[in-house]
Structure 1
Amino acid sequence: MEKVTNVYLTDYIPTIYTSPRTILYTQNGKEKSSNIFAERNGVIIIVYNSTRDVLVLVKQFRPSAYIQQVAEDERYSEVDTNKYPVKLGVTIEFCAGLEDKHMTSEEIAREEILEECGYEVTVDQLEKIGVIKNLTETTGANSTLYYCEVTDAMRKNKGGGVDGENIEVIEMPVEEVITYASNSNYVPSPINFMYGLYWFLYHKYKKDLK
């Protein structure tokens, strides 16, 4: 991971990926409003390397995860990265990407696997799990989940992302992933990671797990 410095929390700066909006509506005769982020839909891919019995994961710094670890009264001046080390904002996730191109979700998933994880697959090697709703107070975007099994022979590059992405590929034995996800104190991964892991263990992983 690169060194992160000069961390500040500021007013929202618009981007092409999220748009802050307020929805006005009437529910049971009462006027209401809800602040949302109109996010793009995306894909998430569970990548399993059967050659070495590992799940192919990505590790990266997530600013939103980091700032939640900083005391609220210390977020609006420069954050002390010695007191709050960068590792507090590093997450482990499945390969994923936004549907931000004129491509099918399968084609985007295939591209993300190559760019982030370094494996070249075909769209017919992707098994669609389903579509889940990122249903929170602020976003209702959809994520299409896929499963893909790869081998060492399909590795074409080291991965790590494109266009300045700073992604580290983590190939973790399945038993280690289970131990990681079983930490009752804190698991620095999104809820879709937990869902995807349990889906994989229930539907695909045939070993006797104790």
Structure 2
Amino acid sequence: MEDVKNIRVTPMPESKYVKPLRFHYTQNGKEKNWDLLAVHDSVAIVIYNVTRKVLVLVKQFRPAMHFNSILPEDREKETIDIEKYPPSLGLALEICAGIVDKEKSVVDIAIEEVLEECGYNVPAEKMERIISYRSGVGVQAALQTLFFCEVSDDMKTERGGGVDDELIDIVEMTIPEMEKLLSSPGPVQSPPSFLFAMMWFLHNKASKYIRSFAYTCSECKKHKPTVWDWLIQ
């Protein structure tokens, strides 16, 4: 995952994923313009494994996150010093997600992404649609649709990790571990959509699972009292 080297930055050629545009308009009688990106819409899926009582997440190298960790004076050098800017700066903890680039429903694309990235074969009736929202409104504002699904170990039919040349690690976190992550001052190596999705899960789903499990593991016995302690009383 962190075996990243020979990093350099060049102007972007024509891309099938991202198209830079300048948006011209008149507002209150004043001529204005704004630079933006035309990109694909996407899906994202909160996955909870009821067998082991863990959230199923993914971690992958995100070039844009690494690039924005580089100081401006170092960005235009012929190569980027990976001793000064190690690849770990670009590792993002996220929920399973993927772009809508096929003639399929968002539900079918969500099912496909869960199988490809995390290895679980989820039937359509188990995929709960939560909400759609605009992400990155300052630059691209693509529509992302959030889903939730429960999985179990017997639904794991593939290894996961992505397809083609994707390198995706599967990360499992308990509810107390996620609560601790979201309570930290940061910075958190995750996008806002991940934070929103985890907050949604903790608010709407976590009490269902933690009632049956909160004090059965040694880690939960050690964690400091939180709102979940009140929920399970």
Taking structure 2 as the reference length, the TM-score comes to 0.87
Structure 1 residue 33: Cα displacement: 0.7
What amino acid sits opposite 2:228 in the alignment? L
Between the aligned partners of 2:14 and 2:182, the Cα distance in structure 1 is 34
Q: What is the rounded CA distance, in whole Å, between the counterparts of 2:13 and 2:147 in structure 1? A: 32
Q: Residue in 2 aligned with 1:110?
A: 111
Counterpart for residue 173 of structure 1: 174
Q: Secondary structure at the match of 1:76?
A: coil
* Shift, 1:182, TM fit: 2.2
CA distance in structure 1 between the aligned counterparts of 2:102 and 2:67, rounded to whole angstroms: 30
Residues 178 and 14 of structure 1: is their aligned pair in 2 closer, same or farther, counting only changes over 3 Å? farther
Name the counterpart of 1:142: 143
The Cα of 1:160 is off from its aligned counterpart by 0.1
CA distance in 2 between counterparts of 1:50 and 1:14 reads: 44
Normalising by structure 1, we get a TM-score of: 0.97
Say yes or no: does 1:128 pair with 2:129: yes
Q: Deviations over 1:98-126 (max 9, x none)?
A: 00000000000000000000000111111
- The sequence identity of aligned pairs, in percent, is 40
Aligned residue pairs: how many? 210
Q: Gaps spanning 5+ residues in structure 2: where?
A: 211-226
Answer 1 or 2: which has greater helix percent. 2
The one-letter code sitting in structure 1 at the alignment partner of 2:64 is S
Contact 2:2 2:87 in 1 (8 A): no
Distance 1:11 1:170 in 2: 34
Q: What RMSD, in angstroms, separates the aligned Cα atoms of the two structures?
A: 1.1
The structural deviation recorded for 1:75 is 1.0
- Partner of 1:209, secondary structure, is helix
TM-superposed CA distance for 1:209, in Å, is: 2.1
How much does 1:173 deviate? 1.4
Paired residue for 1:52?
A: 52
Query: Any runs of at least 4 consecutive aligned residues in structure 1 with deviations exceeding 3 A, and if so which?
Result: none
